[in-house]
């Protein structure tokens, strides 16, 4: 089987390709805007927003396509970038797959399609994206639904919660860095629960779907158990070997500070680590579960606590 990993030079893609390297029955090619640092000889340079470029670079002998490419940072400007990359890019991919007769696809969407949730949400949850990113992922799923209805064999959608791990520089890394610095500021009461996913487990699940996926499938991906912010803070300090010590401020003060930095960002054209959307994400409950993963029989190889410990060890204990 030959697999095309679009966005394979990134955080999840690199982990996935490292796993695929050990499977004799699977060969992979990476297609990305930048060359893979780990697999430069297996990388084709391409921008999925450019249909002609995509069609020209797309290999002819592909059995399955995995799309990991996305615009996902919180404060992208202009916001139309989410649609351009996530929706138009997926339309281009589907058009090329249709032309080349490729009938198997795995798509990494996001739990952002559900928006803010007040209780544990499963794959049958209602769609209420609060941000352009979540809306773009939902729209991309609809593009793939039409492609699948044209006669495809596998349409697997993975909606990961926030993904963390060694080498990532996203929101979880920023949180861990603040805790490791000893200058962590807890906003709110810390009782809100956060579902997370360790990158190695996400890569293992994609590998599982490459070998076992079939038909139309939708999965929330989350590693259990879900820590609340107080428990997460204690878990990270345990991995650091430190005594917990933090300052707390009420939610409304944190949100006010976020809006102030948003206002400042507009005039300075600089991105700040604090923003209103990040405060809302920090203090919101983002708790998800998956009925379908349990039915599929997948078991994550690494516990979320072990993933946190490995990340802290690699990033903050050297």
The set of catalytic residues is 133
Residue 272 and residue 280: Cα distance in Å, rounded?
A: 15
Place of tokens 């249909």: 51
Helix (H, G, I), strand (E, B) or coil at 78: coil
Centroid of chain to Cα 295:
22
Place of tokens 């700040």: 272
> How far lies 137's CA from each of 201, 214, 268, in Å?
21, 21, 30
Place of tokens 């589907």: 94
Q: Is the peptide bond before 78 cis (omega within 30 degrees of 0)?
A: yes
> How far lies 276's CA from each of 75, 247, 260, 280, in Å?
10, 19, 8, 6
Residue 61 and residue 58: Cα distance in Å, rounded?
A: 9
Among residues 9, 3, 195, 229, the alpha carbon closest in space to that of 110 is found at 195
Bridge-based pairing of strands 2-6 and 154-160 is unpaired
Determine which helix (DSSP H) or strand (DSSP E) holds 139, and give its type and residue range.
helix 132-149
């Amino acid at each position: 089987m030959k697999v095309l990993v679009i966005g394979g030079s990134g955080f999840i893609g690199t982990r996935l390709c490292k796993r695929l390297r050990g499977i004799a029955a699977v060969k992979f090619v990476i297609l990305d805007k930048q060359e893979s640092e780990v697999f430069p000889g297996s990388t084709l340079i391409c921008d999925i927003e450019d249909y002609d470029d995509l069609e020209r670079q797309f290999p002819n002998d592909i059995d399955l396509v995995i799309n990991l490419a996305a615009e996902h940072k919180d404060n992208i400007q202009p916001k139309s970038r989410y649609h351009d990359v996530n929706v138009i890019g997926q339309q281009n991919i589907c058009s090329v797959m249709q032309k080349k007769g490729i009938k198997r696809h795995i798509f990494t969407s996001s739990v952002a399609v559900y928006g803010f949730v007040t209780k544990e949400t499963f794959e049958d949850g209602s769609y209420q994206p609060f941000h352009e990113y979540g809306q773009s992922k939902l729209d991309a799923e609809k593009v793939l639904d039409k492609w699948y209805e044209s006669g495809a064999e596998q349409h697997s959608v993975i909606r990961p919660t926030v993904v963390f791990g060694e080498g990532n520089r996203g929101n979880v890394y920023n949180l861990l860095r603040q805790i490791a610095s000893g200058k962590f500021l807890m906003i709110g009461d810390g009782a809100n629960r956060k579902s997370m996913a360790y990158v190695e487990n996400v890569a293992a699940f994609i590998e599982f779907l490459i070998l076992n996926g079939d038909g139309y499938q939708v999965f929330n991906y989350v590693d259990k158990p879900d820590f609340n912010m107080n428990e997460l803070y204690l878990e990270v300090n345990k991995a650091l070997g430190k005594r917990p010590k933090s300052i707390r401020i009420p939610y409304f003060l944190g949100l006010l500070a976020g809006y102030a930095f948003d206002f400042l960002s507009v005039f300075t054209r600089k991105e700040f680590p604090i923003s209103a959307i990040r405060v809302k994400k920090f203090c919101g409950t983002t708790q998800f579960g998956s009925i379908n993963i349990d039915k599929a029989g997948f078991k994550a190889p690494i516990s979320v606590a072990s993933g946190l410990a490995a990340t802290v060890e690699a990033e903050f204990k050297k």
